A and B are shown apart, each in its own frame.
Chain A
Amino acid sequence: MEIQTRSADNVKILEFTGRFDTYTADTARQWLEQAMTDNPANVVVNLEKVDFVDSTALATLVHSLKRCRELNGDLRLCQLQQSVRMVFELTRLDRFFEIFAQEDEAIQAFAH
């Protein structure tokens, strides 16, 4: 899995590419840890190029979101592919994560 990072308006953006699963979750976790150093920790994870997530990947995102909230911030998801979106809907993790259609919407939501 490839990970690109950028930042905008005190928000760290991580863009993952490829399969996000048991085998790549550790790398993702390390990058997420690095993105969560500020207080408040505001992170957007762009999943546009992720075609598969398994439960370890979901657990990694859940852990990071909990951590962000401890640091007075939030972790938001955007641009989910249909298959990935379905996983969030079926597990009802869509009730836990704020999910946005576009990356800039996710970033702007931090301003409010």
Chain B
Amino acid sequence: MILPAIVASQRTHLDTLAKDWLDAGASSFSIWTDGVVLASWPEAPVDETACLIEAIQVNAVKIGELRITGLHAAAHCQRLQAQAGLIAQIARLERDLNSMGADLIDTQDQLLALYNLTQATRNYLDTEELLARLAFETARLVKAEAAFFLIHMKGRSPIIQHYPQPILNDEALQHYIELMKESQHEFLFSRGSSDQALGIRNMLMVPIKVRDAETAVMGMLNKFDGDFNSPDIKLAGAIAEFTGAQIENVIMHQMNTEQARLQTEMELAQRIQIHLLPQEPPGIAGLDLWAASWPASRVGGDFYDFIIGANQPFTFTVGDISGKGIPAALLMAMTRTVIRTKTKVMPMPSPQVVMGRSNQELYEDFTKLSMFATVFVGQYDSVNRQLLYANAGHSPVIYCPAGGEARLLRADGTPMGILPTSLSKDQWIDFQPGDVLVVATDGFSEARNAHDKEFGYDRLTLLVQSLAHHPARVIAENIYKTVSDFSNGMSQADDQTLVVLKGVGA
């Protein structure tokens, strides 16, 4: 009760008021609450038959009264009324002060509780472990028998953690979650509406805000003393807020980890791919040979190969699988192997036959995967100094006879995987000392500069001509450097692969 406290704390002022009344002729002045006297001046037993009575009201509720005996005048009545009003005002202020103090203590408790919660859970990087710990801490903090957390991210299975064990079955839980979703804020379920069959006295459910979550909710069941009240709702709201942020952190961490894993796998794939290519060109009489491949940032589908079989002419291949990434890389490995195998098992494998057989073998797979490969298969006849080749849609292939003009050798057949039967026929060119053949992939000709201008076939053909007097390796490295300088600063969009052959004296 507030009035006894005011009587005690304001005693001196009340003494002055009482003295004024007694001086004015009153026989007594007293303060009452619920029919009991709290203070009286003089302190002698009070005469019950008061002449003037004025109620002390706070927000229309009577908390006590002032009584005077021995005076009747209207002026006295007004004065008493004013004094009752003043005491009521003091009572109001006192009450506000008290409630603010209580709120402050509650807030401080909650802050401490939340601090403990954040300390306890900040190191969890696994959603399930985090939720399990949160359920435990929440039940402890709100003094409830049980707590649960349910997080359902879009496209994933829901995660539910109960502490200490589920009180609601999944069906009931779902039902209440739907009810909560409809109301769009916390869902409070108290003793009056208790659902005895489920063993619940009371329950508080609070939504959790998590980006990209289908459903995210926390719940507390069966508070130990009484019902969930407004400080509990505030505390639960704060826990929900923290949980939401923490879950987003955990998910972000998981995504980063996954990204790092994929990155590592990609790098591994790229290393494997590079190792599939011959590391050193073989020594072939009459030829100066060089090959290199500069992959773009992602794994790609370029390849080259040198095939040397017993009693077989030296065979080399260059290919480019359509598309990019892992699918192209897988088909690249497959195509290279098929061509190599077909070449090795045949006694006299002309490029046209190798191409035809390989296409036959790969056609269905390419069609299934909606891909194709441009392939060049060449063979060097060291006796006649001739190059025999078949070209399935591959470019650029640039031939520069010694001292002459460089020109493109155009394909006659469609790429591998386009038609069930290869259209590529055997073709041949003389290959004398000083003659140069560059079989490259379109990563060179299609390289672009900052003005979106393509390096192009003409520039590449002239470049080969200008470099033709150099050894094969110098030609290869200069082509790469020139194209790289051209696209200065632009990232390499596609793999760049080339094989350079130069005729030399035996």
Contacts and interface: CB of A to CB of B under 8 A. Distances in A.
A55 B445 CA distance: 13
B370 A60 contact: yes
Interface residues of B, number: 30
Contacts of A3: none
Given A91-B415, A95-B414, A59 B322 contact: yes
Question: How would you classify the secondary structure of chain A's contact residues: helix, strand, loop or mixed?
Answer: helix
Interface centre among A56, A83, A86, by most chain B C-beta atoms within 10 angstroms, is: A56
A95 B246 CA distance: 60
Interface centre among B410, B415, B418, B494, by most chain A C-beta atoms within 10 angstroms, is: B418
A92 interface: yes
B413 A22 contact: no
Interface residues on A, range: 10 to 19
A90 B410 contact: yes
A90 B322 contact: no
Interface in B313-356: 320-324
Contacts of B412: 92
B419 interface: yes
B395 interface: yes
Interface centre among A62, A63, A86, by most chain B C-beta atoms within 10 angstroms, is: A62
Given A91-B395, A91-B411, A93-B418, A55 B323 contact: yes
B370 A63 contact: yes
A59 B371 contact: yes
Contacts of B418: 62, 93, 96
A93 B322 contact: no
A56 B372 contact: no
B91 interface: no
Given A54-B494, A63-B370, A96-B419, 4 more contacts: A55-B321, A58-B372, A91-B414, A93-B418
17 contacts: A22-B324, A54-B446, A55-B321, A55-B322, A55-B372, A56-B323, A59-B372, A62-B370, A63-B370, A90-B393, A91-B374, A91-B393, A91-B394, A91-B411, A92-B412, A92-B414, A95-B414
Interface of B: 320-324, 367, 370-372, 374, 392-396, 408, 410-415, 418-419, 423, 442, 446, 454, 457, 494
